[in-house]
Amino acid sequence: MTRHSVLVRATHWINFLSFLALAVSGVAILLAHPRFYWGETGYFDTPAAFELPLRVNLDQTGWGRDLHFLAAWIAVVNGIIYVAWGLLSRHFRYRDYKVLQRLAYLSVLFGLLPVTILTGLTLSPAVTAAYPVLFTMFGGRQSARTIHFFAADLLVLFLIVHVTMTIREGLVNSMITGVVETE
Amino acid sequence: MISRRKMIASIPAAGSLLLTACKDSLPPTYGSLFDLSNTVTFASHRVLLRNQPLVREFARDRITKNFPAINETNPKDDRYQHLLAGAFAEWRLPIAGLVSRPAELSLDTLKRLPSRTQVTQHNCEQGWSAIAEWTGVPLGRVLQEVGMSLHARYVVFHTVDGWWDSLDMFDALHPQTLLAYGMNGGELPVRHGAPVRLRVERQLGYKSLKFLSRIDVTDRLDDVEDGTGAVGAAYGYSWYAGI
């Protein structure tokens, strides 16, 4: 029997809530223009790379952006606390995980998360004024928006798989009470 | 060597020092959690942009065809229609407030001031983006012309269609912040805010007001209109839109 410390559980659930808030607010922002493009520009008269069959709603972006960035800041601070603690306490060990699990977590941590964050920052006219290299990295503003959308979709997919697995293996309680039953 | 206790004890002190130093330059948050997070974004961008970098400028061949025109595209206002019929010869832009030489600038006066032409990307909050060439006077040059006071901290803009918004000096004095009267080599078209619109390149498109009608220079925003700094606040749009 091992335990998830209070800090691991607290950061985990804060992360869960901010992730949900990011996903919901992301959809709210998307509804204003559910068309995607490749390259630098994209607007009503240019052909879309693809278009989602969603009803355009222009009135949800205000709170959508506000919630998106509030949740993003909370996720960033929360993530820093978690990683700092993990490094200090040598929490990051892989021996408890299976190969596939390991691959999934590593690709999220070093692939999807950084790509989602960096493409999100590429949509900021202020951040890109300071770091125009972001445009070069992702091939333009609209490409960054499209990649942001797909990377976020994959993160949601990962969340669904993660939640399904923990429910199937009866591990949800361990992230609440901290108690992990081991065979 | 500084002990850990000493170091921890000094954190609140450093924090309050920082807050005291910044308090006056931060936009008001009205106790809202959203405004607080937007203010964190604002403050962190001010650090990132401390050297006042310019946004990218493109070659003319990157200019977008049919640049989208949204929101107001031809104000019904009688006075505006009269000015439009006269090719804006009678149009004046009053600039008042904390300036030593309040003025009513004509289009010709603006055009005689040193101009700047820039091909930049317009980033709409809806998600689309398009490139256009803008020609105008840097706002900072106009503020210099009217003798802006050293106590001035904000520039408030009003438009023909009743919109209003504001910038602090950090953005107002940025070289790419223009009072634009030209677009893509011609006059600024009516649907894009003729005769003069604002360009604020490091924020989302909604800060670049069209159809400017008046400019006020001030040291505080809480006594301007509803005190929120911009009409957009009433519709849930953040005052700072650098995102």
| DSSP-assigned letters across all residues of B93-120 | EEEEESBSS-EEEEHHHHHHS--EEEEE
Q: For the purposes of burial, counting CB atoms within 10 Å of the CB of B56, is it exposed (0-12), middle (13-18) or buried (19 or more)?
A: middle
Whether A171 has a pLDDT exceeding 90, the answer reads: no
- Rounded to 10°, the helix A61-89/B33-48 angle is 70
pLDDT of residue B119: 98
Residues of A in contact with B243 (CB under 8 A): 65, 69, 123-126
- C-alpha gyration radius of chain A: 19
Put simply, the chain A residues between 74 and 113 with a CB less than 8 A from any chain B CB are: none
Residues of A in contact with B237 (CB under 8 A): 62
- Per-residue pLDDT reduced to its tens digit, A15-48: 999 999 999 999 999 999 999 999 999 999 999 9
Q: Looking up tokens 């977590």, which residue turns up?
A: A105
Q: By the CB < 8 Å criterion, does A126 face chain B?
A: yes
pLDDT of residue A102: 84
Q: How far is CA B170 from CA A36, A154, A176, B24, B209, in A?
A: 33, 39, 47, 13, 18
* Spatial CA neighbour of A140 closest among B121, B49, B65, B205: B121
Q: Which residues of chain B have pLDDT under 70?
A: 1-25, 28-29
* Spatial CA neighbour of B135 closest among B195, B66, B224: B195
Nearest Cβ partner for A126 among B34, B202, B235: B202
Q: What tokens does A2 get? A: 């091992």
pLDDT of residue B20: 46
* Spatial CA neighbour of A159 closest among A10, A24, A69: A24
pLDDT of residue A2: 64
State in Å, rounded, how far the first CA of chain B is from the last one.
41
pLDDT band at residue A180 using 50, 70 and 90 as cut-offs = confident
Question: Where do runs of H (alpha helix) occur along chain B?
Answer: 4-23, 33-48, 78-85, 107-112, 139-145, 169-172
pLDDT band at residue A1 using 50, 70 and 90 as cut-offs = low
Question: ipTM, 2 decimals?
Answer: 0.93
- CA A19 from chain centre, in angstroms, equals 6
d(CA B24, CA B35): 16
Whether A182 has a pLDDT exceeding 70, the answer reads: no
- CA A92 from chain centre, in angstroms, equals 20
Residues of B in contact with A142 (CB under 8 A): 129
Q: By the CB < 8 Å criterion, does B236 face chain A?
A: yes
Q: Is B17:B23 a contact under the CB 8 Å cutoff?
A: no
Q: What tokens does B227 get? A: 């005190």
Q: What tokens does B108 get? A: 């010709």
- Per-residue pLDDT reduced to its tens digit, B188-220: 999 999 999 999 999 999 999 999 999 999 999
Residue A28's closest chain B neighbor by CA? Answer: B126
Residue A146's closest chain B neighbor by CA? Answer: B127
Judged by CB atoms closer than 8 Å, whether chains meet at B126 and A44 is answered as: no
pLDDT of residue B23: 55
Q: Is B40:A73 a contact under the CB 8 Å cutoff?
A: yes
Q: What tokens does B114 get? A: 């040193």
Residue A112 DSSP symbol: I
Q: Is B114:B122 a contact under the CB 8 Å cutoff?
A: no
- Rounded to 10°, the helix A141-168/A6-30 angle is 130
pLDDT band at residue A68 using 50, 70 and 90 as cut-offs = very high
pLDDT of residue A179: 87
Q: For the purposes of burial, counting CB atoms within 10 Å of the CB of B58, is it exposed (0-12), middle (13-18) or buried (19 or more)?
A: middle
Judged by CB atoms closer than 8 Å, whether chains meet at A33 and B55 is answered as: no
φ, ψ of residue A140 to 5 degrees: the values are: 115, 165
Q: pTM of the full predicted structure? A: 0.91
Q: By the CB < 8 Å criterion, does A166 face chain B?
A: no
pLDDT of residue B14: 46
Q: By the CB < 8 Å criterion, does A148 face chain B?
A: no
Q: Looking up tokens 């200090």, which residue turns up?
A: A88
Whether A93 has a pLDDT exceeding 90, the answer reads: no
Q: Give the residue from B125, B174, B199 with the most A CB atoms within 10 Å of its CB, the best one to mutate.
A: B125
Residue A109 DSSP symbol: I
Domain A2-180 falls in which CATH fold? Fumarate Reductase Cytochrome B subunit (1.20.950)
Residues of A in contact with B124 (CB under 8 A): 33, 43
Residue B41's closest chain A neighbor by CA? Answer: A69
Domain B56-235 falls in which CATH fold? Sulfite Oxidase; Chain A, domain 2 (3.90.420)
Domain residue extents for chain B: 56-235
pLDDT of residue B40: 95
Across chain B, what does the average pLDDT equal? 91
Residue A71's closest chain B neighbor by CA? Answer: B37
Percent of chain A residues topping a pLDDT of 70? 95
Mean pLDDT of A165-183: 85
